[in-house]
């Protein structure tokens, strides 16, 4: 899966600045559409940047979210690096 780096940066930054309890459905708000953002979240989960088990994929390839979405420790570190750029 090829994730748009700008979208990835936006999602990581939003999660970094979110309430400590994480983000709900508002994490999906983006002009690219909910499916694209959910795919980006799945890619972030695969890389260990958000907590495991928050994004699942069914046989049809559709993503579902277990809200709230929270960064892992590695995700916080990655988001902080991007936030400084």
Q: Average pLDDT of 1-28?
A: 89
Whether pLDDT at 9 is above 80: yes
Tell me which H or E stretch contains 65.
strand 63-65
Structure tokens that stand for 30 in this block: 């983006």
Does the domain made of 5-84 have the CATH classification 3.10.180.10?
A: no
Q: Which residues contact 30 (CB under 8 A, 6 or more apart)?
A: 7, 10, 36, 37
- Place 32 in a pLDDT band, splitting at 50, 70 and 90: very high
Look over the chain and give the mean of its residue pLDDT values, rounded to a whole number: 92
- Report the run of H or E that residue 15 belongs to, with start and end: helix 5-16
Residue ranges of the domains in the chain? 5-84
Question: Rounded to two decimals, what is the model's pTM?
Answer: 0.91
């Amino acid at each position: 899966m090829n994730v748009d780096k700008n979208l990835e940066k936006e999602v990581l930054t939003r999660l970094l600045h979110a309430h400590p309890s994480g983000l709900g459905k508002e994490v999906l708000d983006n002009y690219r559409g909910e499916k694209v953002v959910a795919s980006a979240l799945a890619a972030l989960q695969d890389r260990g940047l958000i907590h495991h088990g928050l994004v699942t994929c069914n046989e049809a390839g559709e993503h579902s979210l277990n809200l709230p979405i929270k960064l892992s420790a590695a995700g916080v570190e990655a988001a902080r690096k991007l936030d400084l750029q």
